Structures are given as structure tokens and as C-alpha cells.
């Protein structure tokens, strides 16, 4: 069904939603509407400075967030799934924000297709992890969480290339490095259902890094900038600290993200091994 509402006003409204469950379900509806030609115009409504969030989880400094020791006892696995669900909720907001914030750059429709497809994936991931929490008698909001992901992205609010350099190509790419060992530990802890959910997430996230890289290259091209040196400069500006090896080189390469970008920014030069998977 066609709507008079612009895409950006629908996205800004969605970003303001506090309830995480409502937000995730509504994202899936909005993306289906977009894909069916339901939005005639992009518009130019600004997204909120900070997205709506539920009262719980409480946001605390990273060192006060429960550790994610994965074993047969459910406590560590609940902490892990809760932490990743929180990352997925942030990822929903980041994808919606990407599709709403940078309209002044007059990006092609494909940009919106890509980031809305990412938002839909993130909503699916979040809902899948809510199911895993429910299976362990837990809910999103039961544990504190930290706000590092949103804060890291917020620094690039006014800089499309900076946002593309950091959100998909530092933060999501880091997920490719660390998820395979989580899957192995979940399997070792006899939790194949959660391992399967993380495997779906891992495969989808390769696509998200690829989309980030595609648009980073595109905007560099439009601005006649060299992608590799521009990425080094932006990561130096917006990301505190060096990148942590070991890198999942095969997954990064599958996302068209070559080591020419990240290897020179690593904190060590001795560990460029791929994890097993």
C-alpha cells in the first residue's frame, strides 16, 4: 500500500520507538513496505540525536557488564546472548539512522535498499536472540548493557564517510573476527540452537560488511578520494585505539574488505591468522 509519509519521516518515527520488541517488528513491516514500493519519496526528516530505548537494560560502563563465560551452566550463555541482542538492537538503530541521516548526499535508491535490508536483518537477529533468551528463561533487559557501540557511531553523526568507515568496517567487521570462536564454544557447551542462531548472524554480517565497503568505496569515488588512505585517516580520527588481531581474513575477504585497509592499523603485526571457520 502506498503511503503519503516520506521514508525519512517513517524512519525517524521508528528510531524514536522505546520498546525494543515493537521497534524490531515495525522495522520488518517498514522494510517490506519499502520493498513493495510503498514509499513514494525519501523526504528529508532528521533522525533523533539518540534513538528511543527501553528503561531496561540499564546502561553501565563496559567493565560493569556481566562477563560472558560460555559453559554448560546457562548463566554465561544468557549473558552472552543478552550482550549480542543488545548489539543487534544498536545495529537496528544504526542501519535506520544510516538510511535517514545522509539524504543531503543524494545517494541512489540502492543505498536505501541496502541499508533497509540490513535493518531488516538486524531486526530478525534481535528477534531470534529474544527467542534464545526465552528458551533459557531470560528476557532482554534482565542484565545491564553498555552503550559503547552507539557512542562510537555518534562521533560520526555529521560525516557519512566517517560513519561508513567506523560502523560497518570497524565495529561490524570486529564481529566477524570474534563470532566463530563463540559458535565453537556454544557447540562445546552442547547448545546447538544458540550456535545455529550465531551461525546465521555470522553469515548475514559478512553481507553487512560488504554493503558498508561498497558504499564506502562509492562515496570515496564521488569525492575523488583514495579508499585505503581515507579509511586510515578516518579510523585515526574517530576510533580510539588500534584494531585487534587476529582478524578473520577469510570472512573479511568474502566481504570484499582487503587487508590493505586493516592490517596497517592493527595493534600488533604478529597475528593475522584467520580463526578456524
Q: Is 125 in the site for Fe ion (CB under 5 A)?
A: yes
Burial 155-168 (b: 16+ CB within 10 A, else e): ebeeebbbbbbbbb
- Residues that bind Fe ion (rule: CB under 5 A) add up to a total of 7
Pick 162 or 212: Cβ nearer Fe ion: 212
Rg (CA), the chain: 18
Q: Candidates 19-27, 58-66, 115-123, 152-160 — which segment interacts with Fe ion by CB under 5 A?
A: 115-123
Residues near 10 by Cβ (< 8 Å), separated by ≥ 6?
Answer: 3, 30, 39
Contact assessment for residue 164 and residue 219, using Cβ atoms and an 8 Å cutoff: yes
Q: Candidates 30-38, 148-156, 157-165, 202-210 — which segment interacts with Fe ion by CB under 5 A?
A: 202-210
Pick 9 or 125: Cβ nearer Fe ion: 125
Q: Candidates 87-95, 98-106, 191-199, 233-241 — which segment interacts with Fe ion by CB under 5 A?
A: 87-95
Q: How far apart are CA 116 and CA 122, in angstroms?
A: 10
Pick 198 or 261: Cβ nearer Fe ion: 198
Q: Which of 122, 152, 191, 213 binds Fe ion (CB under 5 A)?
A: 122
Nearest to 228 by CA among 188, 192, 259: 259
Contact assessment for residue 178 and residue 87, using Cβ atoms and an 8 Å cutoff: no
Q: Is 120 in the site for Fe ion (CB under 5 A)?
A: no
Pick 9 or 167: Cβ nearer Fe ion: 167
Quick one: how far is CA 156 from the chain centroid?
15
Q: How far apart are CA 50 and CA 183, in angstroms?
A: 32
Pick 9 or 97: Cβ nearer Fe ion: 97
Q: How far apart are CA 59 and CA 67, in angstroms?
A: 15
In the complex, residue closest to Fe ion by CB: 208
Q: Candidates 66-74, 91-99, 216-224, 260-268 — which segment interacts with Fe ion by CB under 5 A?
A: 91-99
Pick 191 or 205: Cβ nearer Fe ion: 205
Interface positions, 134-193, toward Fe ion (CB under 5 A): 172
Pick 91 or 165: Cβ nearer Fe ion: 91
Strand partners, 3: 39
Q: How far apart are CA 97 and CA 45, in angstroms?
A: 11
Minimal distance in Å, beta carbon 230 to Fe ion? Answer: 22
Q: How far apart are CA 79 and CA 240, in angstroms?
A: 26
Residues near 38 by Cβ (< 8 Å), separated by ≥ 6?
Answer: 1, 2, 3
Minimal distance in Å, beta carbon 125 to Fe ion? Answer: 4
Q: Is 82 in the site for Fe ion (CB under 5 A)?
A: no
Q: Is 124 in the site for Fe ion (CB under 5 A)?
A: no
Nearest to 41 by CA among 85, 68, 10: 10
Pick 9 or 117: Cβ nearer Fe ion: 117
Q: Is 77 in the site for Fe ion (CB under 5 A)?
A: no
Q: Which of 82, 146, 208, 213 binds Fe ion (CB under 5 A)?
A: 208
State the residues that interact with Fe ion by CB under 5 A: 88, 91, 122, 125, 172, 205, 208
Amino acid at each position: 500500500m502506498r503511503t503519503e509519509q516520506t521514508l525519512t519521516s517513517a524512519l525517524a518515527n521508528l528510531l524514536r520507538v522505546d520498546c525494543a520488541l515493537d521497534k524490531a517488528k515495525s522495522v520488518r513491516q517498514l522494510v517490506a513496505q519499502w520493498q513493495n514500493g510503498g514509499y513514494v519519496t525519501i523526504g528529508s526528516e532528521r533522525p533523533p540525536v539518540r534513538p528511543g530505548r527501553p528503561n531496561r537494560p540499564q546502561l553501565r560502563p563496559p567493565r560493569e557488564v556481566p562477563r560472558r563465560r560460555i559453559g554448560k551452566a546457562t548463566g554465561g550463555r544468557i549473558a552472552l546472548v543478552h550482550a549480542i541482542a543488545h548489539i543487534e538492537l544498536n545495529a537496528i538503530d544504526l542501519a535506520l539512522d544510516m538510511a535517514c541521516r545522509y539524504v543531503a548526499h543524494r545517494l541512489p535508491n540502492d543505498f536505501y535498499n541496502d541499508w533497509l535490508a540490513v535493518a531488516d536483518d538486524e531486526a530478525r537477529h534481535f528477534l531470534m536472540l529474544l527467542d534464545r533468551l526465552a528458551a533459557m528463561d531470560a528476557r532482554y533487559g534482565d542484565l545491564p548493557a553498555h552503550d559503547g557501540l552507539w557512542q562510537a557511531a555518534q562521533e560520526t553523526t555529521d560525516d557519512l564517510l566517517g560513519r561508513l568507515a567506523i560502523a560497518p568496517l570497524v565495529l561490524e567487521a570486529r564481529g566477524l573476527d570474534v563470532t566463530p570462536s563463540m559458535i565453537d564454544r556454544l557447540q562445546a557447551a552442547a547448545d546447538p540452537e544458540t550456535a545455529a542462531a550465531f551461525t546465521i548472524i555470522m553469515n548475514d554480517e559478512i553481507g553487512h560488511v560488504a554493503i558498508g565497503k561498497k558504499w564506502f568505496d562509492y562515496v570515496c569515488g564521488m569525492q575523488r578520494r583514495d579508499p585505503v588512505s581515507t579509511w586510515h585517516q578516518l579510523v585515526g580520527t574517530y576510533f580510539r585505539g588500534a584494531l585487534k588481531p587476529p582478524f578473520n581474513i577469510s570472512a573479511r575477504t568474502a566481504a570484499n574488505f582487503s587487508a590493505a585497509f586493516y592490517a596497517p592499523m592493527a595493534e600488533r603485526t604478529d597475528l593475522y591468522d584467520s580463526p578456524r571457520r
